[in-house]
């Protein structure tokens, strides 16, 4: 089945449909990961976006029920050069195209993804219309132009849990080299778990698993839960999760975060980092084409070390807007100099723009969860 992708600036790409038929509009962004397409497709932070995979061959190891970051695909569409229809992996349960079709998600293959990626890098992320039904280029360009901006959509409300729930699953052990060959890499766990409330703006499951790994008793609540109701759980720490869209489009969540500052140790990831920046009096801005991939170099300012991190965001905190007498900058992006992490100098709160849980991506930043536990341990003492 033929498919057509029309960008709002009039650029047209033709290809072959390998997902569900139909028509969708969304913001086109590119992801530089070579693997991890299943985690990318199910990441709630991609709601409202069509994802271009820069690696040409996608789907070769299939899809399974374990490597998902939410219950179903979240992307508006997946755009690839070559979609593998016959995966080869012992964990594969179905191919990528069947998986997308099962959930009504569109996919387009045989696209010149290198050209499309270079176009987005030059012009910036933009809206597009994808269709297997209409091939009138002018009509599709107009539909893309008339589509609402991603900042105008209620994306967080669409991906957040409707009801609170208790999460108890950790990750499978990772194996690291040792003198005797290999040993499990075990993060430090306290004898009595720390009760943590996760404010769910679109949380990835691996964030929850990592919290369990470091000894947390995890409770996940909807994004619109009030500060009073969060504190009713008697948490020892609060985590502000990742999520889609513009942090300034969820003022009710921002007000909750402001109300909780300094009351309990707080850790923000991705969108949670941006919300913390706004709550501390800063500003956020939209990046030209965002950071999407698992190879983003991030400098740890305290040591000068560089961690290769997994990232997925279109917005960033403006360093110039922060009160640096109160806020310490902890991480910087080495590609464009944007802020990747901060902590408050007197309150127990810190945040990172990258994804320390990875999934997909390297585990350079896995120990980023440890300071959160240390803050809660100090409060207990």
How many Cβ atoms from other residues are within 10 Å of residue 261's Cβ?
17
Q: Is 270 a catalytic residue?
A: yes
Residue of 8, 27, 236, 357 with catalytic role: 357
Q: Spell out the residues 6+ positions from residue 213 whose beta carbon is closer than 8 angstroms to its own.
A: 170, 171, 187, 189, 369
Q: Is 357 a catalytic residue?
A: yes
Strands (E) across 241-365 are located at: 266-269, 284-300, 306-317, 327-333, 339-344, 349-352
C-alpha span between 232 and 313 (Å, rounded): 31
Tell me the Cα Rg of the chain.
Answer: 21
Q: Is 84 a catalytic residue?
A: no
Residue of 236, 270, 292, 294 with catalytic role: 270
Residue of 291, 292, 331, 355 with catalytic role: 355
User: For residue 31, which of 89, 82, 80 has the smallest C-alpha distance?
Assistant: 80
C-alpha span between 211 and 373 (Å, rounded): 9
C-alpha span between 130 and 107 (Å, rounded): 9
In order, the DSSP letters of 211-234 are HHHTTEEEEEEETT--HHHHHTT-
| Residues designated as active site | 270, 355, 357
């Amino acid at each position: 089945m033929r498919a057509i992708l029309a960008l709002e600036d009039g650029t047209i790409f033709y290809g072959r449909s390998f997902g569900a038929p139909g028509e969708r509009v969304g913001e086109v962004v590119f992801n530089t990961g070579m693997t991890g397409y299943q985690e990318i497709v199910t990441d709630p932070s991609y709601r409202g976006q069509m994802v271009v995979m820069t690696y040409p061959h996608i789907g070769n190891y299939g899809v399974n029920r374990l490597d998902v970051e939410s219950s179903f695909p979240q992307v508006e569409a997946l755009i690839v050069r070559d979609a593998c229809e016959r995966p080869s992996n012992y964990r594969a349960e179905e191919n990528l195209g069947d998986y997308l079709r099962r959930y009504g998600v569109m996919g387009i293959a045989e696209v010149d993804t290198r050209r499309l990626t270079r176009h987005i890098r030059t012009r910036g992320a933009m809206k597009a219309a994808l269709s297997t039904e209409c091939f009138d280029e002018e009509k599709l360009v107009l539909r893309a132009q008339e589509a609402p901006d991603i900042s105008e959509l209620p994306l967080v409300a669409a991906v957040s849990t409707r009801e609170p729930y208790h999460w108890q699953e950790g990750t499978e052990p990772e194996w690291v080299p040792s003198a005797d060959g290999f040993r499990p890499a075990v993060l430090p766990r306290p004898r009595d778990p720390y009760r943590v409330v996760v404010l769910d703006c679109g949380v990835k499951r691996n964030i929850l698993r990592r919290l369990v790994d470091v000894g947390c008793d995890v409770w996940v609540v909807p994004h619109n839960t009030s500060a009073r109701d969060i504190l009713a759980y008697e948490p020892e720490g609060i985590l502000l999760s990742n999520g889609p869209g513009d942090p300034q489009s969820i003022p009710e969540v921002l007000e909750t975060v402001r109300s909780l500052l300094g009351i309990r140790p707080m850790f923000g990831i991705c969108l949670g980092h941006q919300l913390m920046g706004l709550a501390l009096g800063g500003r956020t801005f939209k990046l030209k084409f965002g950071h999407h991939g698992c190879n983003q170099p991030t400098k740890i300012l305290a040591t000068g070390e560089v961690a290769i991190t997994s990232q997925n965001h279109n917005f960033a905190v403006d360093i110039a807007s922060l009160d640096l007498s109160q806020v310490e900058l902890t991480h910087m992006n080495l590609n464009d100099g944007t802020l990747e992490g901060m902590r408050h100098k007197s309150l127990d709160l810190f945040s990172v723009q990258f994804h320390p849980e990875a999934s997909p991506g390297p585990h350079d930043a896995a120990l980023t969860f440890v300071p959160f536990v240390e803050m809660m341990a100090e409060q207990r003492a």
